[in-house]
Amino acid sequence: MRRILAALGRYPVITATVAVGIIAAALAGAGQSAWATGITTAYVSAVVVWTIIGMIRDVMRGHVGLDVLAVIAMVATLAVGETIAALIIVLMLSGGEALEDYAGRRATRELTALLDRAPQIAHVRRPGAGDETRDLPADEVAVGDELLVRPAEVVPVDGVLLSDEASFDESSLTGESMPVTRTAGETVLSGAVNGSRAIRVRALRRSADSQYQQIIALVRAAQESRAPMVRLADRFAIPFTAVSLAIAGAAWGLSGDSVRFAEVLVLATPCPLLIAAPVAFLGGISRAAKAGIIVKGGAVIEQLARARSAAFDKTGTLTQGRPMLVDVRPAPGIDPDRLLAWAASAEQYSAHVLADGIRRAASARGIAVEAADDAHEEATNGVTAVIGGRRVVVGKPAYVAALAPDTTLTALEAGHAAAYVAVDGRFAGALVLADGARPESRAVVRWLRGHGVERVTMLTGDARPTADAVAASVGVDEVHADLLPAEKVHLAAMMTPRPVLMVGDGVNDAPVLAAADIGIAMGARGATAAGDAADAVVLKDSLTKVAEAVAIGRDTLRVAYVAIWIGIALSVAAMLLATTGLVPAVIGALGQEMIDLATILYALRALRGRPFDLSDRGTTGAVDDAHAHGPTGSVPAEAE
């Protein structure tokens, strides 16, 4: 009973329409037909006035939609005395909203599942608490707290594993279906589901800063964003309205019967157009979420479907983002291990992937990292830190040379990058790192080219030789290197043909991701700034998901248009049949509900789509323009 009452409260127009219908039927059965007609007419007239007010508001906002057809149909049925048909049209319009809501909940099930699994409680053991643990809200966990995670529980915050070994289900974070084994000292991400043994974890970040909460924020943004669903339907509004009125007018003129006009128009109500696109786009968003791609709204789905150019960052995007130290080149008189210790101590304050490579190299060699008395990072250039009373600078050669004039460039092989180091204003040496291309990068570039992306380029802050080497290995033939973030933004803005898809992973990529037509962030490593700026976030550390996002966008848009055309075709066929007088207005109004249902069922196909195959080279793969537009036509040196 509670559910029924909730449903009645959720859709008051449906409730009121059904109530008016019951009252009118009772009055008519009691011989009070005039009262029944009067109540029905008054109610439908009120709905017409309310709809017209909404249309005026939309027009004032520059939006002209399809509601005019529904208004004309209601007015026409009232004018010819078909009050029951008018009531059914009202029920159809409000019922269409309910059907859309149901389909929307079905389509967003994957997104809602992420929200429902958000960690709420943490078992915390703090100094002074003995061996006991206390259950606290996850957002009260402090950095450094020791947590107990029981079997099958969700890890509440990002942390470091203290237990010797543990197995985790990270499918909600990365899309990886198989359990992942972590060992002591490795990072465990919030949102991962613990295996069969209780484990201990030390909190690395607060709940609000942890990986899963960042994903939750992205999901909420995706759910709250408004897709271009009405705009999509409105491309058909004027032609469909004109055709419908022409058929209805012709039926009236040829028959001389004004009732025929109303009988045609009840089949011209625009529910299939208004419902098909929203359901399809919600289905596409849900399908993307299931694949490990958070898409922030239907507008992004549509843009993905129409992408004509693609630009990629290099480090961590086309490359694996786990650079390995291949050489230490100290200046005369500098010990190599001392150079690496200085660099690693400074780079602990940088989030760039090349900085991570330096820190890992120091750890592997047993070199201790010292804490800094002061540290700051200058985006895209380098980091400065005071280590043991000495000012250490690590970064690009120009940045280091500005503080240490004796800096000398070191020779690099193709595909290598160098982080330059200065100490107390004197050049101390360089660290050479190599970051190999992702194994899937070449196949992704090839897939995009085979599916309508005409131009593929690399936008990187890395040095030209390194950028060229990586580009050649992955099949990118246009390279822009040595770029600052502002230059990336400018190049993305000038790129043609459009829309332009930009893929990046680092904090320094946030401006260009925000500026591009479609920004996709490789968010598996928790690049929060990039994820916030992007239109879509890939949760699994695989570039393949970028191509899959484009494929989902194209499948979704194709389903949306086919669903719309199904609704148009069925409506026009039914209208033509109604011109013969064989379809009474009441039957026509009920028939339109069947057309709505057929449209929704087809639009839900966007939930599944065709299986993605990266080896499919395609032809053009893009949504045809004429069809799509409807009937009207570290910042270490030499790194990003």
- List, by residue number, the catalytic residues: 313
Concatenating the DSSP letter of every residue in 353-378 gives HHHHHHHHHHHHTTPPPPPEEEEEEE
Q: Which two tokens stand for residue 392?
A: 């250490």
Residue 609, number of CB atoms within 10 A of its CB? 19
- Phi first, then psi, for residue 543 (nearest 5°) are -70, -20
Bridge partners of 458, per DSSP, are 312, 479
Query: How far is the first Cα of the chain from the last one, in angstroms, to the nearest whole number?
Result: 60
Q: Using DSSP, how many helices (H) and how many strands (E) does the chain show?
A: 24, 22
Concatenating the DSSP letter of every residue in 28-54 gives HHTT-HHHHHHHHHHHHHHHHHHHHHH
Element (H, E) at 2: helix 2-10
Q: What is the largest CA-CA distance in the chain?
A: 110
**What Å distances lie between residue 74 and 83, 182, 336, 471, 585, CA to CA?**
9, 65, 84, 62, 11
> How would you classify residue 31: left for phi > 0, otherwise alpha for psi between -120 and 50, otherwise beta?
left
DSSP state of 457: E
Element (H, E) at 212: helix 211-224
**Bond prior to 497 in cis (omega within 30° of 0):** yes
Q: Which residues, including other chains, have CB under 8 Å from residue 154's CB and lie 6 or more apart?
A: 117, 119, 190, 191, 192, 193, 194, 212
What is the rounded radius of gyration, in angstroms, for the C-alpha atoms of the chain? 31
Pairwise CA distance, residues 256 & 249, whole Å: 10
> How would you classify residue 616: left for phi > 0, otherwise alpha for psi between -120 and 50, otherwise beta?
beta
DSSP state of 521: E
Bridge partners of 391, per DSSP, are 386
Side chain identity, residue 550: V
Pairwise CA distance, residues 460 & 380, whole Å: 11
Residue 345 C-alpha from the chain's centroid: 36
Length of the chain: 640
Pairwise CA distance, residues 484 & 425, whole Å: 24
- Tell me if 211 sits within 8 A of 192, measured CB to CB: no
Give 39: exposed, middle or buried? Use CB within 10 Å, 0-12, 13-18, 19+.
Answer: middle
- Tell me if 233 sits within 8 A of 66, measured CB to CB: yes
Pairwise CA distance, residues 335 & 416, whole Å: 22
Pairwise CA distance, residues 479 & 540, whole Å: 26
Q: Which of 241, 232, 222 is nearest to 63 (CA)?
A: 232
3-state secondary structure of 200: strand
